[in-house]
Structure 1
Amino acid sequence: MSLGHGSQDIHNVQLEKFAEWLLQIGDGLLGDSTDGESVNRIPDNLLLDIESPCLHDLVLFIYPDILLLSSSMYYFKGRSILTPTLDVVTEVNNHVMSLIPGNERVYLSSDTLLNEDGHLEYELYTMSTKSLNALNYSGIFQHRLLLKIGVPVMLLRNIDQSNGLCNGTRMQVRRLGDHVIECIILAGRNTGEVVFIPG
């Protein structure tokens, strides 16, 4: 057995134990329960050892040495930050983006309302382009997408399921074109494949 393979086995066992621990917390099987409240001890390796942590501390905890390693496909493969709201997603994304070197590229959605055959609802006429572009709801893509080479991205729509391009696919940006974004898939059966996403 090679050293690399053994370390992967250790990682898999640790991941399995962590998943078990999360499930037990979710099922209410861990902790001391008194008066409907439960106290659970979080392992030290999952805690930020900082008195008043901020977003920057969290990002550096999850992505240590981001400046040195962000170009590696494997760096982002096992790391992610889950957030409670879309506004926090935007804040985290912008902060991580600011740490990665390189030029930013902005992609904008179409912001013109079309009235084909008179089937457009009256309510849409009352919304300004500015208010439509400011929408930030689950299921509606943001008007402004800011990207850099090397940043991790996730698909929010099924594009080509047979080739692994479905909702939730994690990728890393390799090139930014005018109308296409080249990415490499980070997880699943298509890991390592280069794909092109319409921009």
Structure 2
Amino acid sequence: MRLLNPSLEESKRDELEQFSNWVLAIGDGTAPAERKGDECEASWVTIPDGLLIHTDGDKIAAIVFEVYPDFLMNYNNPEYLASRAIVCPNNITVDEINDFIVSLIPGYSVHYLSCDTISKSSEHIPDFDVLYPTEFLNSINSLDSACCSA
């Protein structure tokens, strides 16, 4: 979508297009891969150095400050926030990054829960409220069972 922005400079457009093509190649499995050790199949992809964030310290802080430079001066600017994103492989990492970012924002935080009731789509079980109390629904993390299964 950013490539279609008519006000984008040509050099930025080329850079975004190269990145987009690289990401598509990773997703399609057509990016060059190599074998490590005695692996049967090549499955390791080299990430271009320009896409890496090098740090010996807190990795979450490093990626947050790379993606959101001058965060404390811009955290209440919707355009600043909407023009950036950190994509994560799982909800646990999302929670860690969100917790870190929220801890940076001055003031009090409020925790909003996403769902306090269960859909009563089946008429055969009339006691959903007893079977699934609000406290139980609020404790569910959608990846809890997936992370723990073998």
TM-score, reference length from structure 1: 0.53
Match of 1:31 in 2: 32
* Structure 1 position 65, deviation (Å): 1.4
Counterpart AA for 2:77: S
SS in 1 for 2:9: helix
Q: CA–CA distance in 1 between the matches of 2:13 and 2:106?
A: 32
SS in 1 for 2:21: helix
Match of 2:17 in 1: 16
Pairing 1:1-199 to 2, within 5 Å after superposition: 8-34=9-35, 35-108=40-113, 111=116, 120-122=125-127, 125-137=130-142
The one-character-per-residue Cα deviations of 1:96-135 (angstroms, maximum 9, x if unpaired) are 11212344344456746798xx764456523333212112
TM-score, reference length from structure 2: 0.66
Q: CA–CA distance in 2 between the matches of 1:107 and 1:47?
A: 34
**Structure having greater relative contact order (Cα 8 Å, sep ≥ 6):** 1
Matched-pair identity in %: 32
The one-character-per-residue Cα deviations of 1:61-81 (angstroms, maximum 9, x if unpaired) are 221211122233332233111
State the superposition RMSD in angstroms. Answer: 3.2
- Name the count of aligned residue pairs: 132
After the TM superposition, list the runs of 4 or more consecutive aligned residues in structure 1 that deviate by more than 6 angstroms: 112-115
What are the ranges of 5 or more consecutive residues in structure 1 without an aligned counterpart? 139-199
Q: CA–CA distance in 2 between the matches of 1:28 and 1:88?
A: 24
